[in-house]
Amino acid sequence: MLPEPDRTAGGSRIYTGEDEERLRFIKAGQRLGFKLGEIKEILACGRRSSSAESSLTRSARDPVGALRCVSQSRTVLRAAPVARAISSSLRPRADPPGRRPRIGYDGCMTRSVVRTLPLLLVLIIGCGGANEDPDGAQSGGAVDEALAELPYPPRAAEPASSPPVDSRPAGRVVRVGGPSEGIAADPDTGLLAVARQDRPELTIVDTRSGEVRKRVRLPATARHLELARPGGPVLVPAEEADVLVGVSLPQGRTTTTPVGDFPHSAAFADGRAYTADEFGSTVTAVDDDGERVGQAVVDVQPGSIVAVRDQLAVISVRAYTLTLLDQRTLRGGSSQFAGSGPTHAVADGDDRIYVTDTRGNALSVFSTRPRLKFIARVPLPGGAPLGIAADASRDRVWVTLTATNELVEVEASDRPRRLRTFPTVRQPNSVAVDERTGRVAVPSDAGDALQLIDP
């Protein structure tokens, strides 16, 4: 991989600045988990007429050429180095006193760096042609579409503004009193927890009858809920209050723990709760006694967090990355490009992670054993997928399509397939499934409807 160097009259090797740059690139790739053969292929793809110009510089200047070169390879490359380079250039921007901090850029983000984002898409999706089965997993991506999808500067993908419902929602519809988004289903009590968006309230609903059992006041609204374990509690990241609320079932008693800035999502594993703090770009750990026990900085704007075995998978919605962290130490591990607009993630019972790529109109699937690796992509054209839930006992993943008011059933496997599609209530931003009965629940963020489906 290094050319044979010239030698002095005394026989000592003479290395140039280009040799040093190449060696640094090789060592950095090895630290991030690349094999030497993969690194060699990246270097070969960057090679053009001028041997003095670096491969990465050429890729930034001519991303389409780099994409086409890599796409002819049979090696599925991983995109962690460029993803980390991009995310490390993003910094929280200071706002005037008295205003909540917003995520911004400190000026070190250049267009040449952003223009390498399309290269990431092909590297992570893989090489070769797309699967011709329209309901199957797609292993390739169109270069032109990749270039068109990625905004500058990078920004989080948002759900589509759903059109009026033109089909009767599947199953039955009950009323919960107002627009709702976050939802969690408890198989032990048969209860649903639904987060209202018009006021800071958690509505507890009987899954069987659809009756509202209890309303629990919260310190702030929440857009995502997580069931810690069967029987509860429900974890409620109250965004504007910067706290994690635990709500017992069926009693509705609450405990509150300060976490990071604007907690957006929560996960639970081995006696600990974790929050993805969107505006702080941190992950915060809370023990079973409600005490904060750790915090780590992650890629910019973490919007989703999920536990998988002894690790945490974090989706950073503005850095477009999926990163694994050790649950105990919160130290970062491997990282992958997660799509052109990743938003939410779930894990199944077989060490796989499913990510809704809202801007990319697809469901991306990753394996975590023996290492983090992209394995499949299910196209969901024009759907703007957002909400996602896994039913590990039935090998199913459920995904809501906000642009079309639909719910998609996907087979959970290394080669996932789109199975059935159900019409939903308007603005289906989230979904939950009761793993005991298989009943699926979809709340409306545009009305007071809660849809219950027995597929």
More confident residue, 191 or 32: 191
Domain endpoint, select from 117, 149, 181: 149
Same domain, 180 and 139: no
Same domain, 388 and 275: yes
Same domain, 215 and 134: no
Domain membership flag for residue 165: no
Same domain, 334 and 185: yes
Instruction: Give 31's pLDDT tier (boundaries 50, 70, 90).
Output: low
Q: What is the CATH number of the domain that holds 318?
A: 2.130.10.10
Structural domain count, the chain = 2
pLDDT in tens, 138-178: 344 433 444 445 676 788 999 999 999 999 999 999 999 99
For the chain, what is the mean pLDDT?
A: 80
Q: Is the pLDDT of residue 32 over 90?
A: no
Predicted local distance difference test score (pLDDT) of residue 184: 98
Same domain, 107 and 198: no
Domain membership flag for residue 93: yes
Rg (CA), the chain: 23
| HEC secondary structure over 209-258 | CCCEEEEEECCCCCCCCEECCCCCCEEEEECCCCEEEEECCCCCCEEEEE
pLDDT in tens, 1-13: 667 777 776 677 7
pLDDT in tens, 333-358: 889 889 889 999 999 989 999 999 99
Q: State the residue range of the domain holding 176.
A: 172-453
Same domain, 124 and 177: no
Same domain, 242 and 143: no
Domain membership flag for residue 156: no
What percentage of the chain reaches a pLDDT higher than 70? Answer: 70
Same domain, 37 and 103: yes
Same domain, 328 and 239: yes
Same domain, 316 and 439: yes
